[in-house]
Amino acid sequence: MHAIDPATAQPYPTVIEMNNEDEHPAIALRVVGFRESV
Amino acid sequence: MTMSIYRRRTTPASTALQAQQDKEDLERIFPLLSNYIQEVLVESLINPNGWTIPPNWLPPATDPASTPLPGLDKRTDLVIQYRDESSLFVNPGHVLHRGAFRRQTLDEDTNILRVVNAAASLLVAAACQPATPGNSGLDPDTWYYCYYDLTVATTYPGIVVCPTPPTREEGYGPELEAEGDGLMRYAGAFRTGPAGDAEILPYHRNEDGQFLWRERRLGPYLWQNPEDNLVSVATGGWVEVDLSEFVPPTATAVFLTAVAWDNNSLQIRAKGDTGANSGFDWRARDGGDSWGIG
């Protein structure tokens, strides 16, 4: 169902990484939803 | 002349193997009546709940008591949806499992979609403790997991709400085995709001397991309120973003939007996914906003 990150013990979809170095830093990053195996 | 056909008695304990022998015997004797024989076999396979199971759903298991039957262990059409802050509803559909086939129909009393009170469905047991001991309602800021309970006496499945997540990665198979005698099936997660109300946060779930938030604060429209932004400053490199408030540990994928302006860009990747061509790179148009879903 998911891969566990050994460093955080969190499944990967619950922890991501982002990189924003632009001159206009305001970015609205939002979670729209997710998918489960049900 | 009147001819009677007697078939072997097929019960959940004898099931597929004898049914297959029945079918082969009868087709050998009456090859021109094979279609009719198929009907006989369909009607002969009755499980304890009284529902008919088509023989082609039964895998050739030689030990039905101990062998998993994945062909029966699935759900069709059944989705648990948000109804209001305290209740969920379930559309008609099926839950299938070896020896237990439950059909979720319209509510018997009202002929409308079946309504489930989440707090009343909360399973409080040793294997499924709420965060607040003795709390009979929903805890705030908590992921809850819904299960179909196939042990109930009703023809339709019971719905159990529990803070304990499922353990099977494939999404199918017995869950909460200490509580449900191996007949609990995972049905999907929902989350409660902050302390003080502990209400179910609105969502919509599709039949393929896709969960979409209905909260406006999670959409792109409030990007002009920086305090609501998940990220509002330059990161100075790759930084970790915890989405666990919006994504349960059962998720296999997450859907994101980002709003930016004037050629601004944002890179996103799964944690630790540092290989070539990994992640996503979003860039806004000059002089305008843009958004994307990855």
| Residues B220 and B194 occupy one common structural domain | no
The reply to whether B27 falls in a domain is yes
CB atoms within 10 A of CB B209: 18
The reply to whether B235 falls in a domain is yes
| Residues B281 and B241 occupy one common structural domain | yes
What is the count of structural domains for chain A?
1
pLDDT of B270: 78
The reply to whether B127 falls in a domain is yes
Q: Is the ipTM of this complex over 0.90?
A: no
Range of the domain at A23: 1-38
Q: Which of B200, B175, B177 is nearest to B190 (CA)?
A: B200
pLDDT of B131: 59
The reply to whether B104 falls in a domain is yes
Asked if A9 has any chain B CB less than 8 Å from its own CB, the reply is no
Summarised one tens digit per residue, pLDDT across range B178-192 is 877 777 888 899 999
Range of the domain at B290: 216-294
Structure tokens at B140: 């705030």
pLDDT above 80 (res B247)? yes
pLDDT category at B97 given cuts 50, 70, 90 is low
Alpha-carbon distance A3 to nearest alpha carbon in chain B (angstroms): 8
| Residues B22 and B104 occupy one common structural domain | no
Top-ranked range on mean pLDDT: pick from B85-89, B129-133, B278-282: B85-89
pLDDT above 80 (res B111)? no
CB atoms within 10 A of CB B245: 12
pLDDT of A27: 62
- The residues that bridge with B100 in the sheet, in sequence order, are B97
The reply to whether B8 falls in a domain is no
What integer is the mean pLDDT of A9-32?
A: 68
No. of H helices and E strands in chain B?
3, 16
Question: Residues with Cβ < 8 Å from B11, sequence gap 6 or more?
Answer: B46
| Residues B179 and B83 occupy one common structural domain | yes
| Residues B209 and B79 occupy one common structural domain | yes
Nearest chain B residue to A11 by CA distance is B249
pLDDT of B126: 63
pLDDT of B18: 45
Cα(B184)–Cα(B123) distance, rounded to whole angstroms? 12
pLDDT category at B31 given cuts 50, 70, 90 is low
Domain boundary among B213, B245, B270: B213
- Do B261 and A24 touch, CB atoms closer than 8 A? yes
pLDDT of B143: 92
Q: Residue B261: its chain A contacts at CB < 8 A?
A: 24, 26
- Do B219 and A33 touch, CB atoms closer than 8 A? no
> Which residue in B224, B271, B274 has the most chain A C-beta atoms within 10 A of its own C-beta, making it the best mutation to test that interface?
B271
Comparing B28 with B249, which gets the higher pLDDT? B249
Scored b (16 or more CB within 10 A) or e, B60-80 reads ebeebeeeebeebbebeebbb
What is the count of structural domains for chain B?
3
Q: Which of B153, B53, B58, B158 is nearest to B104 (CA)?
A: B158
The reply to whether B284 falls in a domain is yes
The reply to whether B69 falls in a domain is no
The CA-atom distances, in angstroms, between B50 and each of B7, B153, B156 are 18, 12, 12
The reply to whether B255 falls in a domain is yes
pTM of the entire structure?
0.69
| Residues B111 and B203 occupy one common structural domain | yes
| Residues B44 and B126 occupy one common structural domain | no
Question: Residues with Cβ < 8 Å from A3, sequence gap 6 or more?
Answer: A11, A12
pLDDT of B214: 85
